[in-house]
Amino acid sequence: MANAETKKANVLLLGGGAVGTIAALNIEAGGFGAVTAVLRSNFKVVQEEGYVIESVDHGKLKGWRPTRVVNSVPNVVKESLPPFDYIVTTTKNLPDIPPSLTSLIAPAVSPGHTIIVMIQNGLNIEKPMFVEFPANIVLSGVSMIDAHEGRLGEILHEEHDTLFLGAFHNPTINDKELEIAEAKKFIEIYNKAGKSTVHFSEDVAFARWRKLVFNAVLNPLCAVLGLDDARIRLAGSAIEGLVRPAMREIVATARKLGHDLPDEIMDTMIHCDPMDLYLKPSMQCDLEKGNYMEYEYLVGEPLREAEKIGVPTPTLKVIYEICKALQWRIMEERGVVVVPPKRVL
């Protein structure tokens, strides 16, 4: 692993949308890392003009770019590139939509060297990484940022960048002290500019279940109802009839698994965003753009964990099935699934 005090860490970023851009900006601003960003839809705009960023932490920036932008994941062996010290993943994690995240980053992973930093939502996201890259450390990032990309390359960052970062425990490596040390080293790199707040997360599972109280409930419900997280609070009985029952199911599951979420967590998550900002959670933004929703790790995995331990989750089950049907609709719109032709009378 590169020593941040003697040279910049070589960082690959997969996901150049809003969250990834602010992550890259923090790493570059601190001077401890040089970022190669893998971009897709916004590659041409960013390559030619740079990002336009309006950030609560960094102010207004026009024409900003990380050290390098590319439109595909580099193959370090075939291209004879120096190994990446870190691969930071901030893309939507869609196990139901190929290609898999592990297959996307595989060409850039150097076994036993590259540290994979998953700043992504959901539960059990690390398991495919452990299978595919058993010799690599995998870190967990739970982000509480609010940032969105409007037009391509235009980033609006409205809430302070707060990140809870810790280490997933890879059973093959079986060295918790090393994993924790590497997590703290990455925190130093990310936090050096002083623009973000990064907390070391001793218990990454607790941090993930805590955020699921929002992400497994308000995130999908705002999407399927077409209501931002202020309007859903104004919409009659939506909170008491839909949101709280589903949140209780998440809390009950977490507690039975040994993660003692506090009683006030539901109110904290319901009111985490100011009413007068009318913020749209990520799934709502994706659905409105016709993009796939990352419901499997956010809703499906908590649901499956609840089923394993016998916690009833009737509300969560309905949310999951609605998301699954909406995902199928998007797949049809994109030609991924084909329906039989309509009968002509």
pLDDT 10s digits, 21-52? 999 999 999 999 999 999 999 999 999 999 99
**For residues 99 and 339, what is the distance between their CA atoms, to the nearest angstrom?**
22
pLDDT of residue 29: 96
User: Rounded distance, CA 50 to CA 46, Å?
Assistant: 4
User: Tens digits of per-residue pLDDT, 281-318?
Assistant: 999 999 999 999 999 999 999 999 999 999 999 999 99
pLDDT of residue 2 exceeding 50 = no
By DSSP bridging, strand 9-14 and strand 33-38 are parallel
Q: Is the pLDDT of residue 54 over 90?
A: yes
Sequence-distant (≥ 6) Cβ neighbours of residue 198 within 8 angstroms: 162, 163, 164, 165, 187, 190, 191
Q: How far is CA 180 from CA 202, 271, 323, in A?
A: 8, 32, 35
Quote the tokens at residue 119.
């700043």
- Residue 3 pLDDT more than 90? no
Residue 6 has pLDDT above 70, yes or no: no
What pLDDT does 148 receive?
A: 84
Q: In what order do the strands lie in the sheet with 51-55?
A: 59-64, 51-55, 154-159, 146-149
Helix (H, G, I), strand (E, B) or coil at 245: helix
Phi-psi region for residue 101, left (φ > 0), alpha (ψ -120 to 50) or beta? alpha
Q: In the chain, where does DSSP find H-type helix?
A: 18-30, 43-49, 101-105, 127-132, 176-191, 204-215, 218-225, 231-234, 238, 244-256, 265-270, 282-288, 295, 301-309, 314-333
Predicted local confidence at residue 146, as pLDDT? 83
Measured in degrees and rounded to the nearest 5, phi and psi for residue 322 equal -65, -45
| pLDDT, tens only, 187-234 | 999 999 999 999 999 999 999 999 999 999 999 999 999 999 999 999
What average pLDDT score do residues 140-153 get? 90
Instruction: Return the closest-CA partner of residue 213 out of 321, 106, 323, 298.
Output: 298
The pLDDT of residue 320 is: 98
* Average confidence score pLDDT of the chain: 95
Closest by Cα among 25, 138, 145 to 87: 138
| Residue 1 reports pLDDT greater than 50 | no
Rg over alpha carbons for the chain, rounded to the nearest Å, is 20
Residue 28 near residue 66 (C-beta atoms within 8 A): yes
CA distance 315 to 249: 8
Q: From the CB of residue 153, how many other CB atoms can be counted at a distance below 10 Å?
A: 25
What is residue 45's predicted lDDT score, i.e. its pLDDT?
96
